[in-house]
Amino acid sequence: MARKSIKFELSTQEESTLRMWVGGHRTQQRYSRRAQVILLSADGLTLKEISAGSGLSETNCLKWRKRFLQDRLDGLADKQRKGRPPSITPWQRAQVMRLACERPFNGSNAWSTRELARITGLGSTTVHRILNEASLKPHKIHHWCGKSPDPEFEPKQATIIGLYLNPPENALVLSVDEKSQIQALDRTQPELPLKPGNPKRHTATYTRHGTTCLLAALSVHEGTVQGRCVEGNKRQVFLSFLKSLYRSHPHKHLHIIVDNLPLHKHPEVMEWVSRRRRLSLYFTPTYASWLNQIEIWFNIFARDVVKGGVWHSKKDLVDQIMFYIRRYNSDRAHPFRWTYTGKVLAA
């Protein structure tokens, strides 16, 4: 008859630590297997089942279960051998890892290495090494696209992607949006140019010469951009831009993709669009403006023009933006290549 493991209780802290050892990508395999033995034993499994689940022999399973019952978590460590004793115990390492994964209780949003060192009583270098070995980076945040609550997400998405991949004949697909509040920032001292050993340098103090708003339309299948700098982002300005696009392509049916900004759906705009037989307006799903390809171009534009710019007047800013668009169209314009290979997004 199969012998059952002794049933015993784990404290919340012990269970949390053991599960962290099992799930940690950088946890040494021997500690991960020992932790599995204890977790399986606590579930009341037989030695044969524990051995199969942990990859250790039944004899080893008995040994680590006995050591845990005697010394708890400290019993899972290797016994001290000759030589310098380890300065950091598995318990201290687990404590650093556990705290790093929790919200700080000092009011901040992320742990710093120094704060973790102060709380745990370890050195900053030691804490940094533990976090690095466990691939824990409290200072980093990765973003992802959450699920859109739009009940029509799937048909809207399919329509827009269909325009990208298989446009109708004699059609021009335009991705349109605004980049507002582009500041014409000037520095209070002349810029120090890049030279060997030193990056380009700006003073921390600056002067504002106003802002401009860039209205832009990306021709999806050509990669060219039409742009206009305007004073403000209002429905009359947006409607005027649509009219200019309509007039500049007299022999094409315009399929224009925009996001859900209220001015894009203003009754005056919608009324004008409804009376145009050569124009169709498409709205991205709620919280899915990333489907609009102009956002990709705006990212390129911000990196090339806005970041680190110095302008002595708003006119200088507008002139540079329009010059950049002309040179982009003549030298760099090309359709964005479709690279997504994951599963189809659906509501």
pLDDT digits (tens, 9 = 90+) for 223-236: 999 999 998 778 89
| 233 and 262 fall within a common domain | yes
- What is the pLDDT confidence band of residue 80, given thresholds at 50, 70 and 90? low
**What secondary structure does DSSP assign to 200-222, as a single string?**
-B--S-EEEEEEEEEEEEEETTT
Q: Which tokens hold the place of 226?
A: 């039409």
Please state, for a pLDDT cut of 90, what percent of the chain lies above it: 47
What is the CATH classification number for the domain harbouring 214?
3.30.420.10
Is 275 domain-assigned? yes
- Compute the 3-state secondary structure of the chain and give helix, strand, coil in percent, each to the nearest 5: 45, 15, 40
Is 323 domain-assigned? yes
- pLDDT at residue 347 above 80? no
The answer for 44, left when phi > 0, alpha when psi is -120 to 50, beta otherwise, is left
Domain count for the chain, please give it. 2
Which residues, 6 or more positions from 45, have their beta carbon under 8 angstroms from its beta carbon?
Answer: 4, 5, 53
Is 4 domain-assigned? no
| 250 and 217 fall within a common domain | yes
Is 251 domain-assigned? yes
Q: What is the mean pLDDT of residues 99-115?
A: 89
Is 146 domain-assigned? no
| 179 and 306 fall within a common domain | yes
Domain housing 45: 12-79+88-133
